[in-house]
A and B are shown apart, each in its own frame.
Chain A
């Protein structure tokens, strides 16, 4: 007999699918959150961006825009759009459990 513990947690998402409370987020939610965004397989680069976005949020209180990501995450803009075709800053923020980044550029 094997004992399995399956954890289910309830999180609050806003209308657009962003976390209402970033504190509810844990890293093990990432694969499921990514799947909800149409990303079936998480590569190392996905993880790199998601962790980067999360740490920027922890540091500054807001998520980086695509331009900021391209400049500072170590992943180029071209690659960012390949990883997150529906908008890197926005989708990575959803998966990283942080609010939608604001900024026009």
Chain B
């Protein structure tokens, strides 16, 4: 049992739908296994905890070869919104929570949620721009302190 993972620190650095969900799923899944989990949001990943923006996270349709359609098509007006809507509906069918609901749920599991100080400064944000589940705005050094003794996952 000793070689089991006891703690994870998951960094979410991207602000697209496909950039945010994997980290959230991993954090929630870690807690379900009884693993201690902390989530750190940096750069555009901050949108996931931004009170006004986290309901409007979009799927990236430009520069995303995984969608298997022409790059120029991804840039047409409304394509990102349409694809996001389609993806959200599929996720809803599978009972995958929306990002705001997921953030709340992960907080309720006892995971820690933190924002990156450098990115907060860069974007001119402050604590009250974020959802109340965000525990603190911390520096990279404080991140490493909190991550001590666990695995670090960058997404």
B residues 10-58 with Cβ under 8 Å of A? 25, 28-29, 31-34
Is there a chain B Cβ closer than 8 Å to A87's Cβ?
Answer: yes
Which of A39-47, A52-60, A76-84 lies at the binding interface? A76-84
A residues 43-91 with Cβ under 8 Å of B? 65-68, 70, 76-78, 81, 85-91
B34 close to A104 (CB less than 8 A): no
A65 close to B32 (CB less than 8 A): yes
Interface of A is mostly: helix
B25 close to A104 (CB less than 8 A): yes
Q: In the complex, A87→B28 CA distance in Å? A: 10
Size of the B side of the interface (Cβ < 8 Å), in residues, is 15
Question: With A76-B108, A81-B109, A81-B110 known to touch, is A105 a contact of B28 (CB < 8 Å)?
Answer: yes
Is there a chain A Cβ closer than 8 Å to B70's Cβ?
Answer: no
Residues in chain B near residue A87, CB distance under 8 A = 31-34
Q: In the complex, A66→B33 CA distance in Å? A: 10
Nearest CB of chain A from residue B5's CB, rounded to whole Å: 13
Size of the A side of the interface (Cβ < 8 Å), in residues, is 18
Q: In the complex, A81→B109 CA distance in Å? A: 6
Residues in chain A near residue B31, CB distance under 8 A = 66, 81, 87
Question: With A77-B108, A77-B109 known to touch, is A85 a contact of B34 (CB < 8 Å)?
Answer: yes
B34 close to A105 (CB less than 8 A): no
Question: With A89-B32, A91-B34, A105-B25 known to touch, is A70 a contact of B110 (CB < 8 Å)?
Answer: no
Nearest neighbor of B96 in chain A, beta-carbon distance? A105
B95 close to A105 (CB less than 8 A): yes
Q: In the complex, A88→B108 CA distance in Å? A: 12
Nearest CB of chain A from residue B107's CB, rounded to whole Å: 9
Q: In the complex, A88→B33 CA distance in Å? A: 9
Pairs of residues from A and B, 8 with the lowest C-beta to C-beta distance, nearest first: A86-B34, A87-B34, A77-B108, A78-B108, A66-B32, A81-B110, A87-B32, A87-B33
Residues of B whose CB lies within 8 Å of any CB of A are 25, 28-29, 31-34, 94-97, 105, 108-110
Residues of A whose CB lies within 8 Å of any CB of B are 65-68, 70, 76-78, 81, 85-91, 104-105
